[in-house]
Amino acid sequence: MEVSLSEAAAWLLQQQDIVILCHQSPDGDTLGSGSALCRALRSLGKRAQVLCGDPIGRRFQFLFDGLEEQQFVPKAVVSVDIADEQLLGGLREVYGGKIELCIDHHPSNTHYAQRYFVNPKASATCEIIYELLPLLGVQPDIATATDLYTGIATDTGCFQYINVTPHTFRVAAQLLELGVPAPQINHAMFATKSRARLQLEREALNTIEYFHHNEIAVVTLTRKMVQESGAEDADTDGIASIPRSIEGVHIGVTIKEKADDLVKVSLRAPQPYNASEICAKFGGGGHPGAAGCAISCGVEEAKKQLVAVISTYLESL
């Protein structure tokens, strides 16, 4: 059932012992939404806990500063920034089919929850949580504002993408006024690379291949390359924006080898191209500008399949 944000707030106010679920391969928006909502609920005297099926990377640990773990039997289950139950990952077995409230901004949201508030015009789920706080009667403290700023900044590529609206900028202005240390966050999120990441980038630049009149650019990261660079999984995320950044490229593809017969694929596409539409053909999804999927085969076979499907897609336009 679709609910308004006020109805979502009213429902939350009636709950106790709430778990907040984040999506697998967690990013700044799902974690920032989770931690901000958790802080808000705790400030109301409720017990609340953020859960994620995957470990939370070192670079996002600060979002949970001061949020001690609480042990309780969940009485209410909320998901944030999760478009589909599949994205629960390891949490699916326990919480699949049991989510009572979903707050999300993905247009592809599959309405799996008992009640859902989905606003695809919000740049980030954190932008929605910011609107939710006054409805809960909560004035965000600096930690909550920091969580929310991080989600908005990371989901907009630091205010770079098409999802940024005048409202996004105004929310950012207000979060800055609450004392968010934005330059430090931006530096950590966007401007800092480990030496390992830099080495991986150099390797990635060496693998670029062009297809379909240079409109498709493909970067390949083998397990060996990742291992030898010493890069963490988070380091490999930013690599996905490289092929898409090349002048004249319509679809940027990054293929990450996960096992002998499993690859994870990141697609990036500028308007009017739709990466999500392409990934859907492989059982994946996401946004028009950025989407992903997994393919059960080796790197070369995946490349062949992807180039074929994307070429057909480009010719169909």
Nearer to a copy of itself, 51 or 188 (CB): 188
Between residues 86 and 207, which has the closer beta carbon with respect to a copy of itself?
207
Site residues for a copy of itself per CB under 8 A: 157-162, 164-167, 169-170, 172-174, 176-177, 182-183, 186-187, 190-195, 198, 201-202, 205-206, 208, 241-242, 244-247, 270-271
Please report how close the Cβ of residue 175 comes to a copy of itself at its closest, in angstroms: 9
- Give the nearer residue to a copy of itself in terms of CB position, either 44 or 205: 205
A 10 A CB-CB count for 205 gives: 12
CA–CA separation, 59 and 133 (whole Å): 25
Nearest partner of 227 among 256, 261, 267, judged by Cα: 256
Min CB(170)–a copy of itself separation in Å: 5
Residue 281 beta carbon to a copy of itself: minimum distance, rounded to whole angstroms = 25
Q: Quick check: 78 and 95 in contact, CB under 8 A?
A: no
Left (φ > 0), alpha (ψ -120 to 50) or beta: where does 66 sit?
A: left
Contact 70, 47 (CB under 8 A): yes
User: What tokens appear for 61 in the block?
Assistant: 């640990």
Pick 202 or 224: Cβ nearer a copy of itself: 202
Closer residue to a copy of itself in complex, CB, 70/192: 192
Please state, in angstroms and as integers, the Cα–Cα distance from residue 152 to each residue in 7, 218, 308, following that order. 23, 28, 35
Sorted by sequence, the CB contacts under 8 Å of residue 304 that are 6+ apart come out as none
* Min dist. Cβ of residue 17 to a copy of itself (A): 37
The least CB distance from residue 53 to a copy of itself, in Å, is 28
